[in-house]
Structure 1
Amino acid sequence: MGWFKRFMGLQAPTSTEPVSSAGPLGLNMGVGVRFDASLKLLLDGKTGVTIPGDQAVYSEGRVDLGQSEWLSRYYLDDEDYWLQVHTSGGVDGQVKSVILFNYLSNQAINSEAELRRLAGPGSLIGRPTYTLDGVEYQREWGTETGQTELVPLHEQVSKPDETFAFDSHSMLYARETGLTQRREFLLFSVEQYADGSVSLVTSLGISLYMTDLQTL
């Protein structure tokens, strides 16, 4: 698996310039976010994602996907939650999707052998389907009939007191919930930081409409 060899040979990312405050949907660091009160009832029994109460954006990340496509990621005060907004035509361009993620786990990886076991060739991540707690998800990225390569991403992050960057290799899975244009997502991300630490982060997300949230 080529991504694995490339990942092991990567230099750790260094600190970077602050993320621009101009984000989609009026979102940026320090802004409050309120989710529609009806979401909890609507999603009950349809997804494992929980909806938080009012939150503030503690930090924000930005991923340049190329061809004027961007991911803006907003990490909330309650560290169990983060928002992702996919735009085209610029960071504050046309909104293509909004996903609310819950963190499921953040597992430190302390050796190459552990990385191989969890996310390398022969692991479950990257195969066409993935089953979590008895629920099956379909792979969103890659067309191989077997295991596919994880997708490399470079994210720039701004916090109130620091800026930094990290590299990740990620794989996204999804399933239908039975609700119109509301899918559940399972995201795996092998993340490498400037201090040399590596983690496997797992998040569960749900599609949102733009009208499902408002800034405060």
Structure 2
Amino acid sequence: MNWLKSMLGLAAPKSADTAAASPQGPLGLAAGRMLSLDTSLKFSFADEVELPLPDATQNIWSTGVVDLGQSNWLNRFYLDDNDTWVQVHTSGEQDGPPESVILFSYLSYVTINGEAELRRLAGEQSLIGLPTYQHNGKTFQREWGTEDGQTELVQFFEAVTSPKEAYRIRHHAMLYSRDTGLPNRREFLLFSVEVEADGSTSLSTSIGVTLFSTDFSLF
């Protein structure tokens, strides 16, 4: 896995100089707006989806933008609780019509110290990147990569902007998904090795579910 060789020992990503997110993002999502989820989602998700839902209306504290190339974008909106975020995939314009919307919540965030630990947690010694992944008795299918065996993680850069700072994070990520049994909703499992601007490296694991524009209100 060539990406492992580049994760440690190279210069950290440079800080972003300007805010990458548009003032008004897709679906009206933007930093400073309040987001409230439909309370009925807890009952809908109860037996089908692991994702924990925040109880209260929350402020969108920071935003992240990933330029995927070929006029495709990931727009991320992080809530005040530091655990929950909304990801909107758009094509054409960054704030254009959504291709998909996913509500994510972090399950874990582990600091990685050294190449050996990186290989064990997210490299060839791990299960991340294999065609399927077992999580809490459920089987998730790999979304990225076509190899029969383990595939390399996908690299992209995220420009993050908050009221206090703007910076870039380098991600090496892998996405899995499964059918939930709920109409038009899928559950997602996202692994990401993240390299911060100061060079610190961590592995985040997030659980997500398809979100519709009717599932939330903005104020």
Same fold (TM over 0.5): yes
Which of 190, 193, 196 is the equivalent residue of 1:193?
196
The equivalent of 1:8 in structure 2 is 8
CA shift, 1:129, in A, is: 0.7
2:154 pairs with 1:151: yes
CA shift, 1:35, in A, is: 1.1
CA shift, 1:8, in A, is: 3.5
The equivalent of 1:173 in structure 2 is 176
- Within 2, Cα distance between the matches of 1:132 and 1:69? 29
Q: Deviations over 1:30-65 (max 9, x none)?
A: 110011122111111011012223111010000001
CA shift, 1:9, in A, is: 5.6
Which of 43, 46, 59 is the equivalent residue of 1:44?
46
- Within 2, Cα distance between the matches of 1:54 and 1:182? 23
- Within 2, Cα distance between the matches of 1:63 and 1:167? 10
2:94 pairs with 1:95: no
Which of 111, 116, 124 is the equivalent residue of 1:113?
116
CA shift, 1:80, in A, is: 1.6
Amino acid at match of 2:70: Q
Structure 2 SS opposite 1:4: helix
- Percent identity of paired positions between Structure 1 and Structure 2: 56
The equivalent of 1:18 in structure 2 is 19
**For 1:71-90, what aligned pairs fall within 5 Å after superposition?**
71-90=74-93
- Within 2, Cα distance between the matches of 1:44 and 1:62? 31
Amino acid at match of 2:7: F
Gaps of 5+ in 2: none
- Within 1, Cα distance between the matches of 2:52 and 2:196? 28
The answer as to whether partners of 1:186 and 1:204 remain within 8 angstroms in 2 is: yes
Q: Identify if the C-alpha distance between structure 1 residues 93 and 36 changes in structure 2 by more than 3 Å, giving closer, same or farther.
A: same
Amino acid at match of 2:188: F
Structure with the higher fraction of residues in strand conformation: 1
The answer as to whether partners of 1:22 and 1:91 remain within 8 angstroms in 2 is: no
Give the superposed CA RMSD.
1.1
The answer as to whether partners of 1:82 and 1:100 remain within 8 angstroms in 2 is: yes
Structure 1 SS opposite 2:180: strand
Which of 61, 64, 82 is the equivalent residue of 1:61?
64
Which stretch shows the higher mean deviation, 9-18 or 195-204? 9-18
TM-score, normalised by the number of residues in structure 1: 0.96
Structure 2 SS opposite 1:41: helix
CA shift, 1:170, in A, is: 0.2
CA shift, 1:2, in A, is: 2.2
Which stretch shows the higher mean deviation, 142-151 or 90-99? 90-99
The size of the alignment, in residue pairs, is 216
- Within 2, Cα distance between the matches of 1:48 and 1:27? 24
Which stretch shows the higher mean deviation, 4-13 or 22-31? 4-13
- Within 2, Cα distance between the matches of 1:130 and 1:180? 23
CA shift, 1:10, in A, is: 4.1
Gaps of 5+ in 1: none
- Within 2, Cα distance between the matches of 1:4 and 1:128? 19
Amino acid at match of 2:50: G
Q: Deviations over 1:87-109 (max 9, x none)?
A: 11111112011111111000000
Which stretch shows the higher mean deviation, 54-63 or 35-44? 35-44
CA shift, 1:122, in A, is: 2.9
CA shift, 1:120, in A, is: 1.0
- Within 1, Cα distance between the matches of 2:85 and 2:207? 10
